[in-house]
Amino acid sequence: MCKRIVPAFLLLAPLFVFSQNKMTPELLWKLGRVTGTGISKDGKYIVYAVNTPDWEANKGNRKTYIIPVNGGTPAEISKPDSLLAAKNISPDGKYLLSNKEVKIKKISGSDYYPELAKSNVYIFDNLNNRHWDTWEDGKFDHVFIIPVGKPNEEKDIMPDEPYDSPTKPFGGDEDYIWRPDGKAVIYVAKKKYGKDYAVSTNTDLYEYELETGKTKNLTEGMMGYDLNPSYSKNGTLAWMSMKRDGYESDKQDLVAFTGMGNSIVNLTAHRDDIHVEGFRWSDDGKNIFFWAPVSGTLQLFSVDYAGATMKLPVVKQITKGDFDITGIVGQTGNKLIVSRTDMNHAAELYSVDITNGSMSQLTHVNDDTYSSIGMCKTERKWVTTTDGKKMLVWVIYPPDFDPAKKYPTLLYCQGGPQSPLTQYYSFRWNFQLMASQGYIVVAPNRRGMPGHGTQWNEQISKDHGGQVMNDYLSAIDAVSKEKYVDKNRLGCVGASYGGYSAFMLAGIHNKRFKSFIAHDGIFDMRSMYGTTEEMWFVNYDWGGPYWDKKNTAAQKSYNQFNPINYVDKWNTPIMVIQGGKDYRVPVEQGLQAFQAAQLRGIKSKLLYLPEENHWVLSAQNALVWQHEFYKWLEETMPPPDKIKKGF
């Protein structure tokens, strides 16, 4: 049989149907992803990396550059480590910190039956049998101290302990640091195992003394997350902390030792509106710079370190504007080097004058791409909710927006559920890309988002399907009053809690929407409780297990707020997206939803990604995701230019 060989560019032709003067999936995946690495030891240069996806090869290409701290022409370098202070080398230069997996628990069939080495079996007698996207295999990440030049003399500081440092699933080498005198290591761990691990968020900071081999819990009695330890130049330890065990979205504060014994001062407790995302000590050790959500953005703040005086710390907001500060690279004099995004621009590095907040762009990795496409206008709209509160709603318009025309409009439902909706730049849920395909995007800062006060943030807990659903509908109803919104072409999209929101709204939207897209969303809260891995979330936010009939909060979650109970009212096309290795919102959630829609005769599609977790990380999978996303929208609520072409 004769085989036809088709050129690769013809096979990919459908991917290039969008006008090149607007953002497209391909352009999005050609953007360089900028990460600040640090400031050189001599203080002259900023070191940063650019990872450029190569979707044809399905991998990324990483290059490292330096640029003068005051801006200038970047230069590519091959050995960045030689320019930067070595965080993991002890102050005296004698030891290196590292981490690696250590086999501690018997889990596999061959662990118990060595003669059956080809068996493929897991044997569990406790919970936490899988986490994020990985099954437990009895191995745990431990911190090692290695004498420089003597790798065979490495020492495991947590031998025989079934606990991870770095913490899983997202911890890195920021989870262990040297004490400034070089005589001890501070590391982060959650020293629990099995069911106790699955129901708790209580990580602690531990201090390991090299000479004695003894370990001390520095945060004993502090029951929530304790993360990101960092010393000032004066030897003061600060970190981020939450109060409550089991509540992963508790208010996150900056805390530090005062210098008087074990006394600790909370530097941001007095600010109800502050939820710290990350921080860095000032070079002189007198202040801490941090970034936090505020009114739909992430901004840069400072707080003075009061130390033993116990004076009320002064928190100052340094930057203001419709952008996000997403990280601090370092300090040079009265300037901070930061990473910044907005809904039209991926991350670039900027310098910030800490005296007045003025900013100057330093890197210009993606300028050529952005100069060739139209930008999308973003607008703040304040909407009155059904309980009389004022809610911020971001509205994003197509680049060639004409108020005399009518546009299909998407309600975007944020995940989390308690994560901020700010001026971020996503490489999947990208507002610029959505709007550039001819859609107005409505993105409400609904209940459950930090940046609007603790009460607003916490109101979503145990009320997942309540006031939040009213917030969503208030947002889309308010924007739909505008003449340029086509009420006959409204859609609703979201992932994670946003996927749950799409499933929930599909049963209660009262014919508002013409299309739904739900990615990794919770469809049945009972089966979710029985298969998810981090039990603290469902225990705290839903009120507990479904079998606790006397728990009114839990019963309300599993009955009144459970999307599966409203499937009989589904009447709208729905696309379901599900990752096969998503153990946070496991695969049965998406499969159940798709099967229900199909059996009810509702136009529906399943996009199944067997090797992806709660996210989509592969470049080619991400491109398929985006093309299927917009293909579905074109079929169910096409933009004006697609209507003209017969869609």
Alpha carbons 436 and 443: distance in angstroms, whole number: 16
CB-CB contact of 579 with 616 (8 Å): yes
Token digits for 86?
């070595």
SS3 string of 307-329?
A: HHHCCCCCEEECCCCCCEEEEEE
Q: What is the mean pLDDT of residues 70-88?
A: 95
Residue with tokens 């099954």: 135
Q: Which two tokens stand for residue 496?
A: 């994670």
Q: Mean pLDDT throughout 378-385?
A: 98
pLDDT of residue 310: 63
pTM of the shown model: 0.95
What local confidence, expressed as pLDDT, does residue 337 receive? 98
Higher pLDDT, 244 or 309: 244
As annotated, the active-site residues are 496, 582, 614
Mean pLDDT of 554-560: 98
Is residue 478 within 8 A of residue 393, CB to CB? The reply is yes
Pairwise CA distance, residues 502 & 570, whole Å: 11
Q: 7: pLDDT confidence band, cut at 50, 70 and 90?
A: very low
| Mean pLDDT, residues 85-109 | 97
Domains in the chain (CATH in brackets) are 16-77 (no CATH), 86-221 (no CATH), 373-644 (3.40.50.1820)
d(CA 240, CA 228): 6
Q: Looking at 5-14, 474-483, 546-555, which range is the least confident one?
A: 5-14
Query: Cα(191)–Cα(164) distance, rounded to whole angstroms?
Result: 8
Residues 553, 563: Cα–Cα separation, whole Å? 16
Say what the pLDDT of residue 260 is: 82
Structure tokens at 491: 């859609």
Q: Is 585 in contact with 520 (CB distance < 8 Å)?
A: yes
- Average model confidence (pLDDT) across the chain: 94
pLDDT at 644: 52
3-state secondary structure of 538: helix
**What's the confidence (pLDDT) of residue 6?**
37
**451 HSE (CA, 13 A, CB side):** 25
User: What value does the mean pLDDT take over residues 444-468?
Assistant: 97
Q: Is the pLDDT of residue 647 over 50?
A: no
What number of residues does the chain have? 647
DSSP percent split of the chain into helix, strand, coil, nearest 5: 20, 30, 50
Q: Which percentage of the chain shows pLDDT scores above 90?
A: 93
Task: Render pLDDT for 121-136 as a digit per residue (tens, 0 to 9).
Answer: 999 999 999 999 999 9
State which amino acid sits at residue 237. Answer: L
Please write the tens of the pLDDT for every residue from 260-304: 888 999 999 999 999 999 999 999 999 999 999 999 999 999 999
- Residue 646: the pLDDT is 41
**393/641: higher pLDDT:** 393
